[in-house]
A and B are shown apart, each in its own frame.
Chain A
Amino acid sequence: MTPIQLVFLFVAFATLWAAFMVVTRNNLVHAALFLVIALFGVAVLFVMLEAGFLAVIQVLVYIGAIAILMIFAVMLTRGDVDDIPDITNRYAGWVGLVAVLFFSSLVILMAQWPSFTALAKPILSSRDTIVELGTALVSPNGYVIPFEVASVMLLAALIGALVVARPRKGK
Chain B
Amino acid sequence: MKQFILKRLLQTVPMLLLASFIIFMLFAKTPGDFIDGNVTLTAARAAELKAIYGLDQPLMTRYLHWLVQLLQGNLGFSLQYQIPVSQLLNQYIWNSFLLASVALVLYWGIGLAVGVAAAMKPGSLFDHLVSITVLAAMSFPTFFLCLLLIKWFAVDLHWLPVGGMTNTGSDATGWTWVLQVAAHLALPVMALVMLQAGSLTRYFRASMLEVIKMDFIRTARAKGLHERTVILKHALRNALLPIITLLGFELPGLFSGAIITEKVFNWPGAGHIQIDSLAARDYPVLMGFTLFLAVLTILGNLIADVLYAWADPRIRVRS
Whether A associates with B in a native complex is no
Q: Which residues of B contact A (CB under 8 A)?
A: none
Q: Which residues of A contact B (CB under 8 A)?
A: none
